[in-house]
Structures are given as structure tokens and as C-alpha cells.
Amino acid sequence: MRTTVFALAIAATALAGLTAAQSKPNLAGAWTPVPEAGTDPRATAITIHLTTAELVIEGASGRKSTYKLDGSPSTNTIPERGGDPPTVAVSTAGWDGNKLVIQTKITRGAPPTLRTIQYRQVYALDADGLLILEESATLGDGGPTDTRKVVFKKKVTRPLHW
């Protein structure tokens, strides 16, 4: 009897671990915007690389942003036009259930025109396998907030057949 109870306890523990692992979807891959889904027209294709410890998002321009997924700060730079020094972005990233959340704070300019912008990006897969990005940007502390939604479809690569 003890052996059966012990085996059931091990099976329940394994199943709980499997369920927890499945709650984090695999967002890795190449994604293209779906304009007909109400996507922001400024959206461009992205490629996501994802491990248990790190997220890398590469835009169509080749710019990469890397985030630690343990909630500790990650620093990325954003190139500026006209030879100005790059802007530094400090972010934290992590999972909130089955959604990947990135919080970023950037400061641009110099006094007296110093501006702070806070971004929140939430990535999730919908039931059809589409990647949904909900993004908001707030200017300053409590300033106006701009929001946008982008729907992406995963690029399917097919092997070449001769």
C-alpha cells in the first residue's frame, strides 16, 4: 500500500511540474505582423529567441534587445539619429502566468529637456497560435499613455524539395 501511495505522490508531483512548464508558451520564432487584425501599421517583423533564462527580440532593422527573465534589470541601447549618443533602456522581464511581461524605463535628452518614458509590453499566444503584443508607453510620471496592439503570425519555413 505504501508503495502505491508513494508512486501516486511521485506521479502527482511530475504532473504538477509538467503543467507548470506548459503554462509558459514557446514564443520563439520569426513573426510577421497581421495588418488585417487591427495591427498598428508601424509594426515590423520580429524574431524571438527564448531560453529559460533569457529573451532576445530582434527587429527587422537588425536591432536586438536582450532581457533576463529572472526579474533583474537588463540594459539595452537604442540608436539615435543625427549622431546623438544612444539612449539607454533599463528593463525587467518575466512571466506572469502564460504572458511574458517587459517593463522598460528610458530617459532621453538632457536638462532642461530631459524626458522619461515608461513602456510595458505584454506578449501572449492566443488560441489560434497568433502572437499578441499589447504595448503601452507613458510619458513622465502619470503623463499621457499611448497604447497599441500588434498581432503576429509565425513564419512557417518549409524545407526545399528537389
DSSP string, 82-120: GGPPPEEEEEEEEEETTEEEEEEEEEES-TTS-EEEEEE
Query: What is the share, in percent, of the chain residues with pLDDT greater than 90?
Result: 54
Burial (CB count within 10 angstroms: exposed 0-12, middle 13-18, buried 19+), residue 138: middle
Name the one residue in this structure whose C-alpha cell is 513564419: 155
pLDDT at residue 161, rounded to an integer? 65
Tens-digit pLDDT profile for residues 68-105: 999 999 999 988 777 777 889 999 999 999 999 999 99
Cα separation, 35 vs 61, whole angstroms: 19
Using a pLDDT cut of 70, give the percent of the chain over it. 83
CA-CA distance, 42 to 36, in Å (whole number)? 13
For the chain, the average pLDDT equals 83
26-154 homologous superfamily? Calycin beta-barrel core domain (2.40.128.20)
> Is 0.85 surpassed by the pTM of this model?
no
Among candidates 30, 31, 49, 42, which has minimal Cα distance to 132? 31
Distance CA 14, CA 145 (A): 44
Enumerate the domain spans of the chain: 26-154
Helices (H), the chain: 2-22
